Chains A and B, each alone.
Chain A
Amino acid sequence: MTARIEEFVARGVRPGRRWRAALRRPLAVLPLAYLALLVAGSVLAPLLAPYSPVAADLDHVLAGPSLSHVLGTDALGRDVLARLMYGGRVSLLHAAIVVVTVVVAGVASGIAAGYLDGWFDRAFTWVVDVLLAIPVLMTLLVVLAVVGEHQTVVMVALGVLVSPGLARVVRGATLAVRKELYVAAARVCGLPHHRIVAAHVLPRIAGPVIVQVSLLAGGALLIDAGLSYLGFGAQPPDPTWGDMIAQAASVIDRQPWLLVPPGVVLGLAILAFGLLGDAVRDATAGHSPLPQPARTSTLTPCAEPSAALLSLRGLEVTLAGGRVVVEDLCLEIGHGETVALAGESGCGKSITGRAILDLLPAGGAVTAGSFRFDGEDLAATGPRALRGSRIALISQDPVAALDPVFPIGRQVGELVRLRHGGSRTSVRQRTLQLLRDVNLPEEVARRYPHELSGGMAQRVAIAMALAGEPSLLIADEPTTALDAAVQAEVLALLGRLQAERGMAILLITHDWAVVTSFCRRAYVMYAGHIVESGPVEELLTRPRHPYTEGLLGAMPSRARPGTRLTAIPGSVPEPGQWPSGCHFAPRCTLATPECSAAPVPVSEPDAGHRTRCLHHDELAGGERASA
């Protein structure tokens, strides 16, 4: 559900190549400008520098910043600004050599490994594993000891040593693209490999490569400066940034200022590369955002008493960003009753289930409505205290709903201890009893979630839900992820437990076959509204809302094979794009101007059968549906 909502947000933005747009953001423009300044300052140093970088002035040693020496002078009276500009020539050139080496070695081998797969990929993974474990700086020192005077060779060696990291990223990205269905489609069309790489792989890996390269460039600057700090860089009197820091260190007690210019210029350069990488990453990869501030729900007290177990009145749910996803929802469940909440994806049915337990995604809240449970008005306390003990939840993906790192016995046991306390043996016995209740063998207690099939995991989830002996179970698409045979077993289990324990069930589903086989009463949701509710029998034979009628016509099981289905035209509008008045009006064959003029009230044409439609009379008792 939440995945779908995020999808809505992402929709309409042009994806891929987002890094181009990223480079125009302020967080990328500033670093780019700074780096451009550095490059210009270094390249044009002979023209711009105020002094020669090696001209000593022994009368003005260790001077602070002044008009004649903007950044002061060093221990030999040489101008710091001039030395910085000339030093940049070396540092930036070295960084460039490293980056070019890394890109050539890393991108080519990474794409080849990710795309070709097979033995090449295995060999590649092996080599990368070995290379990644080599201590880079140490090995570089060996190279330095041998060919120290050839700085270019040292930088190329550094590039080769760090390229496995990039190669691995590129391989991963390529592999991900290669598995995409659109690449499969391109292969089915017989497109040659080089074309697939150029058209589909390269654009997709451009983002991650830019991120890595900018981080590597920063790292290269750092290592290069470090090496010259240690005395392995260009030989004096030629300036480098690292060497300037080393010289500042030797006079640290007399003029600490000298540490500042090279440190700040270097630090900012590395920072600029880092920020650039971050900006591109944020734009291209799914960067996990900081958590949204929580919002508190506002429930209004409910005047009318209710005999029902659960009673929701006028519920409105708003998600982060102010999107209303459920509007004016009224729902009642009697003690021990099984009720379906049916609708297509994105209609708000899962969100409703979550709202009942105050489990909305961060930033979401119930923004209107009242809530009664077992006669008690929850306006003051909220539903949180009911979790587990009075209301329980099972959801669609049963394996994901179990903590992957604990064995089943401990997870069920934790809830048993939480609800009933007691000694270790009594907890254990209760735990095993719960597993038996859902038809699982005791040895399941020792297994981990990933060792269970979907059906078994859903039974475990049901056992956990039962641990608190709740009077209402919210089952959110409990069988959707399961195969048909297992689906029937799980439904039978739920039916048995309900009969034995007198527990009410709210079944949230999109599957009408499940609704008809399991529930007596159903609510039909469309675009945040409950559009119709009543006995399932009546909904199927005499729908009182054109949407329900349309769904019946869309069912292949009810149609004559090979004939066109009476499909509803168009598609479900997304939250935020709901039409005014009746949300279904734009797709409805019965719609009139009144439908869109004002919110449509709920009416009750037959006892217990409600509809949010002005024209329900024209549906003529379902004759159209069965035609």
Chain B
Amino acid sequence: MPLLELRGLRVAYRPHHPVVDGVDLVVRPGETLGLLGASGSGKSTVGHAVVGLVRPSGGRILFRGEDITHATARRRRALSTRLQIVFQDPHGSLNPSRTVGSTLAEPLRVVRRLPRRAAEARVAAVLERVGMPPAVARRYPGAFSGGQLQRIAIARALVLEPELLVCDEPTSALDLSVQAQILNLLLDLQHQLGLSYLFISHDADVVRFLCHRVVTLRGGRITEPAGPRS
């Protein structure tokens, strides 16, 4: 059974002007599916729909066979432990006025209802997994470079141990040498944890390098169906 399946996904912010229309795709367990497209192609909207940030106006989103297109808030909260997202801008994805540790522990405390000690231990473990010393939990996001912040943002997504990570241009704001570090990290995590990725990018080289299969999106529609990387 596929991990994630989109059937005819349609998202329209204004009626009759869909930004995404009739998108079908499948992500299998343990694989990386690339979603390649230029700016304005609707690729980020697909990712946002998958994690429930935008409401689809048509089509279905299936997660392990379960229809989650219109999941309730309670169901979403449960799903957040299996389905997470990493954004493009590492500076924006962490609240600058809270410590890294409190941001990372928040979902554990609220969703998992872990006691404080247990949450802190889990945060330390996940920071170590992304290659950051556990001491960074006490510091604020402003103290880190873009690459370090993106590691922390990945840690934030991993803290609930999801099966699928939507990666929305996670390396586009980073320099070449830092991008390589993050790509390596994503490869390592997949290897160690069996993660699946829906990897959204405009960079054909990166997608070709990282993804097992690639889907190309243009004007909200799929122009090249999923095929192995060429």
Q: Is there a contact between chains A and B in the complex with CB atoms less than 8 Å apart? A: yes
Q: Are B87's CB and A344's CB within 8 A? A: no
The answer to whether B96 and A16 have CB atoms under 8 Å apart is yes
Q: Does A186 contact B (CB under 8 A)?
A: yes
Q: Is A556 among interface residues, defined by CB-CB distance under 8 A?
A: yes
Q: Are B97 and A184 in contact (CB under 8 A)?
A: no
Query: Quick one: closest B residue to A571, CB to CB?
Result: B145
Question: CB distance A188 to B96 under 8 Å?
Answer: no
Give the chain B neighbours of A551 by CB distance below 8 A: 176-177
Within 8 A of A (CB), among B25-82: 38-39, 48, 51-53, 73-74, 76-80
Interface string of B76-111 (1 = CB under 8 A from A): 111110011101010011111110000100110011
Contact A190 B142 (CB under 8 A): no
Residues of chain A within 8 A (CB-CB) of B76 are 190
Chain B residues positioned under 8 Å from A553 (CB to CB): 180
Interface pick from A55-63, A72-80, A560-568: A560-568
Is the CB of A609 closer than 8 A to any CB of chain B?
A: no
| Interface SS majority for chain B | helix
Q: Kindly state whether residue B221 has any CB partner on chain A within 8 Å.
A: no
Report if A484-B38 is in contact (Cβ < 8 Å); known contacts: A188-B85, A190-B78: yes
- The answer to whether B193 has its CB under 8 Å from any CB of chain A is no
Q: Does the CB pair A483–B143 fall under 8 Å? A: no
- A571 contacts B183, CB within 8 Å? no
Question: Is B10 at the interface (CB under 8 A from chain A)?
Answer: no
**Cβ-based interface call for A410 (8 A):** no
Q: Which residue of A lies closest to B204 (CB)?
A: A484
Assess the A565–B106 pair: CB atoms within 8 A: no
Interface segment among B11-19, B113-121, B122-130, B205-213: the answer is B205-213
A567, B210: Cβ atoms closer than 8 Å: no
Name the one of A199, A483, A550, A559 contacting B106, with C-beta atoms under 8 angstroms: A199
Which stretch (A5-13, A103-111, A394-402, A471-479) binds chain B? Answer: A5-13
Residues B180 and A565 in contact, CB atoms below 8 Å apart: yes
Asked if A556 and B205 sit within 8 Å, CB to CB, the answer is yes
A485 at the B interface (CB under 8 A): yes
Roughly how many angstroms separate A188 CA and B93 CA in the complex, as a whole number? 12
Nearest A residue to B159 via CB reads: A189
Closest residue of chain A to B190, judged by CB?
A562
> Which residues of chain A are within 8 angstroms of B179 by Cβ–Cβ distance?
554, 556
Total A residues in contact with B, Cβ cutoff 8 Å = 51
Q: A181-B87, A483-B38, A556-B210 are in contact. Are A344 and B51 (CB under 8 A)?
A: no
A3 CB to closest chain B CB (Å) equals 11
Residues of B within 8 Å of A13, CB to CB, are 142
Q: CA of A15 to CA of B111 in the docked complex: distance in angstroms?
A: 27
Chain B: which residue is nearest A346 at the CB level?
Answer: B175
User: Chain A contact residues: over half helix, strand or loop, or mixed?
Assistant: loop
**Bound CA–CA A54/B191 (angstroms):** 86
Q: In the assembled complex, which residues on chain B have CB atoms less than 8 Å from the CB atom of A567?
A: 177, 180-181, 183-184
Whether A185 pairs with B140 at a CB distance below 8 angstroms is: no
Q: Is B132 an interface residue (CB 8 A)?
A: no
Within 8 Å of chain B (Cβ to Cβ): is A545? Answer: no
In whole angstroms, what is the CA distance A181 to B93 when docked?
5
> A555: CB under 8 A from chain B?
yes
Contact, CB under 8 Å: B209 / A571:
no
Q: Does A195 contact B (CB under 8 A)?
A: yes
By a CB distance below 8 angstroms, the chain A residues around B188 are 564
Chain A 547-584, CB within 8 Å of chain B: the 1/0 string?
A: 00011011111010110111111011000000000000
The reply to whether B178 and A189 contact each other, CB–CB distance below 8 Å, is: no
Given known contacts A181-B87, A564-B184, A555 and B176 CB-to-CB distance under 8 angstroms: yes
Q: A199-B106, A567-B180 are in contact. Are A555 and B205 (CB under 8 A)?
A: yes
**CB of B9 closer than 8 Å to a CB of A:** no
Q: Tell me the complex Cα distance, A556–B92, Å.
A: 26
Find B84's partner among A188, A483, A485 (CB 8 Å cutoff): A188
Tell me how far the C-beta of A276 lies from the nearest C-beta in chain B, rounded to whole angstroms: 21
Within the complex, the shortest CB–CB distance from B87 to chain A, in Å, comes to: 5
Check: A151 CB closer than 8 A to any chain B CB. Answer: no
Return chain A residues, CB-CB under 8 Å to B205. 513, 555-557
Shortest C-beta distance, A509 to chain B (Å), equals 11
Chain B residue contacts of A483, Cβ below 8 A: 38-39, 202
Query: Can you give 27 contacting A-B residue pairs, CB < 8 Å?
Result: A11-B142, A14-B142, A15-B97, A182-B93, A182-B95, A185-B93, A185-B156, A186-B106, A186-B107, A187-B53, A188-B80, A189-B77, A189-B80, A189-B111, A190-B76, A190-B78, A190-B80, A190-B111, A191-B106, A191-B110, A344-B177, A484-B204, A561-B209, A564-B187, A568-B180, A569-B181, A571-B147
Q: Taking beta carbons and an 8 Å cutoff, which residues of A are in contact with B? A: 10-17, 180-182, 184-192, 195, 199-200, 203-204, 344-345, 483-485, 510, 512-513, 550-551, 553-557, 559, 561-562, 564-569, 571-572
Question: B residues bordering A, Cβ < 8 Å?
Answer: 38-39, 48, 51-53, 73-74, 76-80, 83-85, 87, 89, 92-98, 103, 106-107, 110-111, 140, 142-143, 145, 147-148, 153, 156-157, 160, 175-181, 183-184, 187-188, 202-206, 208-210, 212, 229
